[in-house]
Structure 1
Amino acid sequence: MTALLQVQGLRAGYGAVEVLRGIDLRVGDGEAVALLGSNGAGKSTLNNVVSGLVRAWSGRIAFDGADLTRAHYRDVVRAGLIQVPEGRRIFPNLTVRENLELGAYARGRERRGQNLERALELFPRLRERAAQLAGTLSGGEQQMLAIGRGLMAEPRLLILDEPSLGLSPILVEELFALIRSLRDGGLAVLLVEQNVGQSLEVADRAYVLENGAVRFSGLPSELLGSDELRRAYLGL
């Protein structure tokens, strides 16, 4: 499978503290990859470095063959690499429609109308609340809004950072069904989650981070099939 995102030897951190210690990671075109690990393993830092929000110390990030290692985050978005961050980070004092339309600010502006319609078809509850202030939505609806806003930018790769955090079990089921549908539709997804079981059900491949380094990479069946790996890296 052609590598859409290729991360090689990536090191990064904050101040003098190294968080990522030589990360190698690949996401193929149309592939869903799960990035697993406990809090503090470096998952969100990796997302932010790939997205251009945190500078890499060394290593290389290539997206669709282009070197994005030192790229500004706006150029990363324009290339089609879109992150839906942990915590949703919607604009609470703007309406649902306005939040969605902002997703097309840097990419997909020409097709904003049709992309808006697509997002509202995916999330009928957002259509019902299009004129409502985003801050008045429930947690699950805010997560729908954050994902819909990401889709407005016509991503080639969508990074989802802890999308199930704080959601009810029913909404978690709906969320992972959506992720599976997006993958089946040909969208590449990097899924960063602590919900191990659900993540491995929708992923084509998985990586496990521990203390800023990749401790496992391979098929979900390999990870789940090894008692040693499950105990060591997943606590199962």
Structure 2
Amino acid sequence: MSAQAIETQTVRDASTPAAETLLDVRGLRGGYGRIEVLRGVDLQVARGEMVALLGSNGAGKTTFNHTLCGLMKPWAGSVRFNGVELGGAHYREVVRAGLIQVPEGRKIFPNLSVMENLELGSFTRARARRAQNLEKVFGIFPRLKERTAQLAGTMSGGEQQMLAIGRGLMAEPELLILDEPSLGLSPLLVEEMFALIGRLRGEGLAILLVEQNVGQALEMADRAYVIENGSMRFSGRPEELLNSDALRRAYLGV
């Protein structure tokens, strides 16, 4: 298949119906200094939907997440969440709206206990329901309940990832962004982590899964986007991506 044919296939619109859309990103541009990283990115997530955002290192995934969550200011474009414009909003306002990110590398507080890390998750949102949400998190992650007094920095990588997700759940997210949740985990823990993500999805939580583990992500996602050099090159159903040899080679390297 020619490059032109690939490009034609990758621009198909896989946006969700407006009535169901929870997150609607249109024409998002941004970067660092004078270096443009995001070049007019469009992405939509519906309520209860799991969407995979795939791309190689340096494709723009982390910059997209940071711009989405208020850690970086967008240069242009729109970020609407629950019908409210959040583009350029302070990250605290983004959290208050229910758009919660579990960042790449976990970013837990290693010198604080497991309990203290979890409690910080509800500092900005859902503080009044902290006790109820703690019980919910402990129901999902029994290991965290067993280690509430343990310093987070002394936990294993898998346990730290559980803590990072638990901390995100403490804020009662309407949309949970999981940035490379399988990074650095053993194959067994990767399976466990994706089983957990499937459980959260089964409970109706909308998830934006940002992953380099292509096979696992596409197996679980309702829809997928592929970002390359700051632009979306594909959006559609996972099977459409996997069934095209040209697309797999061009954008997934498989």
3-state SS of the aligned residue for 1:102? Answer: helix
1:100 maps to which residue? Answer: 118
Cα distance in 2 for partners of 1:48, 1:28 equals: 20
Q: Where in structure 2 are the equivalents of 1:24-173 lying within 5 Å? A: 24-173=42-191
- In the TM superposition, what whole-angstrom CA distance separates every residue of 1:171-222 from its partner, at most 9, and x where no partner exists? 1001111111111111000000000000011100000000000000000010
Question: How far off its partner does 1:125 sit?
Answer: 1.0
3-state SS of the aligned residue for 1:25? Answer: strand
Question: How far off its partner does 1:131 sit?
Answer: 0.7
Residue identity in the other structure for 1:228:
A
Cα distance in 1 for partners of 2:211, 2:88 equals: 26
Residue identity in the other structure for 1:233:
Y
Q: Structure 1 length as normaliser, TM-score?
A: 0.99
Show structure 1 runs of 5+ residues with no match: none
Cα distance in 2 for partners of 1:181, 1:123 equals: 12
Residue identity in the other structure for 2:97:
A
Residue identity in the other structure for 1:105:
F
Cα distance in 2 for partners of 1:201, 1:115 equals: 29
Q: Is residue 206 of structure 2 the alignment partner of residue 188 of structure 1?
A: yes
2:227 maps to which residue? Answer: 209
Question: How far off its partner does 1:109 sit?
Answer: 0.6
Cα distance in 2 for partners of 1:130, 1:223 equals: 43
3-state SS of the aligned residue for 2:130? Answer: helix
Show structure 2 runs of 5+ residues with no match: 1-16
Following superposition, which runs of at least 4 residues in structure 1 exceed 2 angstroms of deviation?
none
- In the TM superposition, what whole-angstrom CA distance separates every residue of 1:131-169 from its partner, at most 9, and x where no partner exists? 100010001000000000000000000000011000011
1:11 maps to which residue? Answer: 29
Residue identity in the other structure for 1:37:
G
Cα distance in 1 for partners of 2:179, 2:141 equals: 19
Residue identity in the other structure for 2:200:
L
Aligned-residue sequence identity (percent) comes to 72
Out of 220, 223, 232, which is 2:241 matched to? 223
Cα distance in 2 for partners of 1:191, 1:35 equals: 6
Cα distance in 1 for partners of 2:245, 2:114 equals: 45
3-state SS of the aligned residue for 1:231? Answer: helix
> Superposition RMSD on alpha carbons, in Å?
0.6
Cα distance in 2 for partners of 1:120, 1:187 equals: 17
2:14 maps to which residue? Answer: none
Cα distance in 1 for partners of 2:162, 2:242 equals: 29
Residue identity in the other structure for 1:45:
T
Question: How far off its partner does 1:128 sit?
Answer: 1.1
Aligned positions, number: 236
Q: Structure 2 length as normaliser, TM-score?
A: 0.92
Residue identity in the other structure for 1:91:
F
